[in-house]
């Protein structure tokens, strides 16, 4: 999702660079001894931008008059540069995306290590409270320190070896993990309920993993429309390329994605568009699902 968003931003930037190149090409030549027709240059610049926009976005050409040779040359060069720059951006982003995918195991290990670090921190805080203000100690203050899932991970020799091999440790990030624990974890309603549980079982301990999941919601307002487009593209890609995932499951997943990352109205928008597209793909015989229970493509 981040890669597709970045690609869209790169294309927009390359388009604006092309417009700037055209603007520069039709500036008056201050070194020329010949008189400069600024009105004509401005008109030619406008035509070249229109032609460039047509080449890039398929925009309709409003001018019925033929373009001058200079307009065609300038617009053509700007379009060539746009394609070259966009190709370079695509190759770079594709490479970065593959590297990120290969680094997923590292991110997973960092997250697991953070859970253990927070567990240790909670014990330190509970021990300090028990010593200095035992009357303020809650029955669940040691819950995270004694979390059965975290303890299992802490004792896992395979995990410890992997952390050492990858040189993963939060020792140099003390300010960060303490601040996250204070400002995020402790203020979470699920965690607060967990701390109030006097005797959590294994099932209660597992709820903690759900709370860890990061939620990025600080998208800028002027980018939300692009987010909807990316969500739709990802959903269509999943419908077409993952034949063992039911269509309804895909649609529901991306509706949920739109709730978290887009506008309040995106839910209805994404649902309606994907429903129409999936039905059209089925009717055209393009969308074919295989596997048990998927014969009807639902």
| C-alpha to C-alpha distance for 178 and 187, rounded to whole angstroms | 13
Helix 224-241 / helix 247-261 crossing angle, nearest 10 deg: 160
Q: 187 and 110 in one domain?
A: yes
Q: What is the pLDDT of residue 297?
A: 46
Indicate if 156 and 194 belong to the same structural domain: yes
**Does residue 296 lie in a domain region?**
no
Residues 59 and 109 in one domain: no
Residue 164 lies in a domain: yes
Do 112 and 188 reside in the same domain of the chain? yes
109 and 128 in a single domain? The answer is yes
Task: Tell which of 102, 134, 164 closes a domain.
Answer: 102
How far from each other are the two terminal CA atoms of the chain, in whole angstroms? 25
Residue 297 belongs to some domain of the structure: no
The pLDDT of residue 135 is 82
Instruction: Answer yes or no: do 230 and 185 share one domain.
Output: no
| Closest to 287 measured CA to CA, from 251, 253, 236, 249 | 236
Which tokens sit at 169? Answer: 């440790």
Where does a domain end: 76, 102, 128?
102
* Region of residue 293 (phi > 0: left; psi between -120 and 50: alpha; otherwise: beta): left
**142 and 178 share a domain?**
yes
Looking at 194, 212, 230, the residue that finishes a domain is 212
- 201 domain-assigned: yes
> Is the domain of 89 the same as that of 133?
no
- Residue 236: inside a domain: yes
Contacts of 71 (CB under 8 A, 6+ apart): 44, 47, 48, 51
Residue with tokens 């978290």: 260
- Contact at 8 Å (CB) between 86 and 10? yes
Q: Tell whether 236 and 201 lie within a shared domain.
A: no
Number of folded domains that form the chain: 3
Q: Are residues 34 and 123 in the same domain?
A: no
pLDDT reported for residue 217: 37
pLDDT by residue, tens only, the chain of 298 residues:
778 888 888 999 999 999 999 999 998 877 776 777 889 999 999 999 999 999 998 888 876 778 899 999 999 999 999 999 999 999 999 998 888 887 888 888 998 899 999 999 989 988 988 888 888 877 788 888 888 888 988 999 999 999 999 899 998 888 998 998 888 888 887 788 877 777 776 665 547 333 223 322 343 434 446 777 788 888 888 888 787 888 888 999 999 888 888 777 788 888 888 888 888 888 878 787 765 445 444 4
Considering the domain architecture, whether residues 232 and 249 belong to the same structural domain is answered as yes
The predicted model scores a pTM of 0.51
| Co-location of 133 and 208 in the same domain | yes
Range of the domain at 190: 104-212
Is residue 58 in a domain?
yes
- pLDDT value of position 224: 47
pLDDT number for residue 74: 95
């Amino acid at each position: 999702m981040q890669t597709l968003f970045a690609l869209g931003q790169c294309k927009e930037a390359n388009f604006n660079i092309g417009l700037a190149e055209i603007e520069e090409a039709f500036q008056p030549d201050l070194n020329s001894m010949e008189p400069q027709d600024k009105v004509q240059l401005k008109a030619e610049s406008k035509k070249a931008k229109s032609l460039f926009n047509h080449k890039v976005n398929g925009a309709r050409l409003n001018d019925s008059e033929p373009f001058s040779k200079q307009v065609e040359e300038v617009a053509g060069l700007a379009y060539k540069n746009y394609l070259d720059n966009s190709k370079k951006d695509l190759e770079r982003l594709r490479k970065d995306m593959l590297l990120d995918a290969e680094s997923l195991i590292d991110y997973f290990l960092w997250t697991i290590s953070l859970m253990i670090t927070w567990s240790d921190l909670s014990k330190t805080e509970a021990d300090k409270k028990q010593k200095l203000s035992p009357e303020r100690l809650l029955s669940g203050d040691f819950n995270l320190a004694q979390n059965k899932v975290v303890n299992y991970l802490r004792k896992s020799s395979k995990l410890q070896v992997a952390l050492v091999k990858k040189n993963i440790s939060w020792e140099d990030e003390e300010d960060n993990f303490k601040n996250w624990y204070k400002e995020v974890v402790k203020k979470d309603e699920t965690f607060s309920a967990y701390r109030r549980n006097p005797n959590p079982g294994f099932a209660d301990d597992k709820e903690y993993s759900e709370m860890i999941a990061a939620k990025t919601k600080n998208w800028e307002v002027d980018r939300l429309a692009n987010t909807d487009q990316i969500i739709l593209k990802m959903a269509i890609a999943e419908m077409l390329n993952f034949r063992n995932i039911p269509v309804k499951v895909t649609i529901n997943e991306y509706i949920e994605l739109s709730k978290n990352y887009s506008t309040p109205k995106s839910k209805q928008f994404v649902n309606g568009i994907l429903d129409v597209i999936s039905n059209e793909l089925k009717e055209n015989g393009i969308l074919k699902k295989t596997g048990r229970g998927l014969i009807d493509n639902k």
